Every structure is written in structure tokens, then in C-alpha cells.
Amino acid sequence: MLNVKNINTYYGRKLAIKNASFTISPGEIVGLIGPNGAGKTTIMKTLLGLTKFTGSITFDGQQITASNHKALVNVGALIENPAIYPFLSGKENLALYSRDKDDLNRLIKRLGMTAYIDLPAKSYSIGIKQKLGIALALLNNPKLVILDEPMNGLDVEATISIRKIIYEYATKGTAFLISSHVLSELQRVMTSVIILNHREIVMDVPIDKFQNTKVSHYRLKTTADDKQVQDLLHANNLPFEYRDKSLIIRTQDTAPIQQLLYQHQILLTELSPIRKTFEQAIVNVLEKKRGAE
């Protein structure tokens, strides 16, 4: 569907994106992640032909360039702030771009916008304007939707609703490229992740790579006094850490420690794997990249 190959984006003479390559397939939900200034918004603008670049971008086999946007007829986008006319109603804004009245009305209902859709957009809150921007991006059943920080300004209920809608569209074959600083929300919807750092793509992998990380340590709690267990582990040369009122042990030591506790009639109350959060995993990737520079 979308094939990006060796693109370099420039602002004047300044290199903004360096040698980026990736693909997005139908139904895929790709998270675009990186620190401020890494180039997330720039790469999205480049995909929409809004910046000068070298390299190749094709969508459904058609070239996208700064002067040729024909391929974008099946692409929806919300970049930075929603592009809405303040003196038109929400429905009138949607009607300007809609090719299917039934699709327009379905989106209004699905996004829960019926109560205010006929009011002037200038009266909308930030969150409602954001929902309108997302509705504009989803109009006409696009094959690809590009969303830059779509959860900005949304309340919890709206965030959950948008997440469900993204899933619905993806199951029907629509692909998504989404950037967000709310990594916990992004993790819940994306199927793969692209990490940007210093204008370059440093990782492009399925989300499973982060969810199925190897467990190196376990949290241990027992029926005995913590000091008693610590003394027992010391006496048997079994390493551990004491953190947050829990003993932290290595994965390879779980079996001998369980055997040792059993021999001393100490029962386990907790033996749980310690996994890195998605945020921690992303930070580790960025730190390793910085260390290698």
C-alpha cells in the first residue's frame, strides 16, 4: 500500500528527515514515536507531499511528490491542528469534503457529535474540534489515515471511542500512521512501531517485540520476615535486590530459591515477573542509540 524508500526531507538547506524507508500494509496500525524534534510531524507532512524531499513515496503504486498529489485521494489526515472553517457548522465543514452523505451522517453519529454538529465550529471546545478533525480524516472510507497527536484535548470517553473506531476501520482494511506522546494509549491500538531519533528511523518492528520481551527478574514475597529470607539467600550465595518492600531475584535463580524456601518451610505469597513498561522500552531504545553516536 504505502512504500517509502530512502526519503530525505529538507527545510531550506537543513536536513529534517534522513534516509527514511518503511512500508505500511492494509489494516496495519503503525505508531510513530520519538522525542520532540525527532521529525514525526515532518515525516507525516512529507508523506502528504507538503515538503520538498528526495527519494520515493508510492501509495497503491502511484507516486507522491511535492507537485503530484493524485494518489492522496484515498488518504485522510489530521496534522497538527484541525483544518476547519470557524464560521461554518461542523456538518458544513464535513460536507465540503464528503463524497457520501450516508458515510458523513454515520461518522457524526459514531463519533457522538449529533448534539452540536449544526453549531458554528468557532463555538467548539478544543476536544470537539479535535473530534471534528478526526472525522474529516475518516471521511469517504480512506485506505490510509495519518493522525498527528489525535488524542490531544480528548476526554477519557472520547479517547476510548476513537480507539474503538480506529480498530473498526483497521479490521476493514484501512491502514493508520499515528503519532502520539501518550504512549500508553498508542500501545493499545498499534500493530507495529516506528521509532524516530535525530531525524532518522532507528527501529521499525511489530509491537510484539516489546510485548514479548524476555523476563530477567522476578518479584518475590513470602510468609516469612524479609530479613529472614535475605539472610537465607546471603548464606546460600543467591543474589537479590531489596526494592519497594520486595525481594527482586534473577529468573535463573527462581527454581533454587523456591527449593530453598520449601526446605525451610517458608511459603510463597508472590512470585511475579518484572516487565519493562512500553515507555521504559522506548526510552531504552533511544538511550542505546544515543550511546552509539
Q: Which domains does the chain have, with CATH numbers?
A: 2-211 (3.40.50.300), 217-273 (3.30.70)
Mean pLDDT of 118-125: 93
The amino acid present at 171, given as its one-letter code, is T
Contact of 150 with 120, CB cutoff 8 Å: no
pLDDT value for 27: 93
pLDDT at 219 over 70: yes
Distances (CA, A) of 81 to 146, 147, 150, 204, 256: 13, 11, 10, 27, 57
The C-alpha atoms of residue 167 and residue 29 are separated, in whole angstroms, by 9
pTM for the predicted model, two decimal places: 0.78
pLDDT value for 212: 62
C-alpha of 136 from chain center: 20
What is the rounded average pLDDT for all residues in the chain?
Answer: 87
The C-alpha atoms of residue 242 and residue 75 are separated, in whole angstroms, by 53
What percent of the chain has pLDDT above 90?
44
Q: Which of the four pLDDT bands, split at 50, 70 and 90, describes residue 122?
A: very high
Distances (CA, A) of 105 to 90, 98, 102, 110, 121: 12, 10, 5, 9, 17
3-state secondary structure of 195: strand
- Render pLDDT for 131-181 as a digit per residue (tens, 0 to 9): 999 999 999 999 999 999 888 888 888 888 888 999 999 999 999 999 887
Please report where in the chains the cell 485522510 appears, as a residue.
76
pLDDT value for 288: 66
pLDDT at 207 over 90: no
Contact of 250 with 271, CB cutoff 8 Å: no
pLDDT value for 285: 65
pLDDT value for 290: 57
